[in-house]
């Protein structure tokens, strides 16, 4: 695809049409999409863990305060 765009100077909107029947290009697009999805899933999992840590930290602070007040 890069060869078509950079060397052969095909317009970028035509490149996808040229590669629609290409099995290798379809497989590469599939792998790219899977990896992109995995990346965003990992970021979401990290955010969830960060929230869980903050929740536990708040709970520990509250319990420490309650323990001191008894």
CA–CA distances in Å: residue 32 to residues 1, 25, 36, 39, 55: 14, 10, 6, 11, 35
Q: What is the mean pLDDT of residues 3-15?
A: 52
Which tens digits make up the pLDDT trace of 11-32? Answer: 555 556 556 677 787 788 889 8
Q: Is the pLDDT of residue 9 over 70?
A: no
Could you report the per-residue pLDDT of 29-67, keeping only the tens digit for each? 889 899 999 999 999 999 999 999 999 999 999 999 999
Is the C-alpha dihedral spanning 14, 18, 21, 23 positive or negative? negative
Q: Which residue has the tokens 């309650």?
A: 66
Domain ranges of the chain: 1-42
The angle at the Cα of 63, spanning 57 to 68, to the nearest 5 degrees, equals 130
DSSP letter (8 states) at residue 20: T
């Amino acid at each position: 695809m890069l060869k078509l765009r950079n060397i052969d100077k095909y317009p970028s909107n035509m490149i996808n049409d040229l590669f629609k029947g290409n099995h290798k290009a379809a497989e590469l697009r599939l792998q790219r999409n899977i990896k992109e999805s995995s990346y965003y899933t990992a970021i979401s999992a990290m955010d969830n863990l960060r929230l869980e840590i903050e929740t536990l930290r708040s709970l520990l602070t509250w319990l420490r305060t309650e323990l001191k007040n008894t």
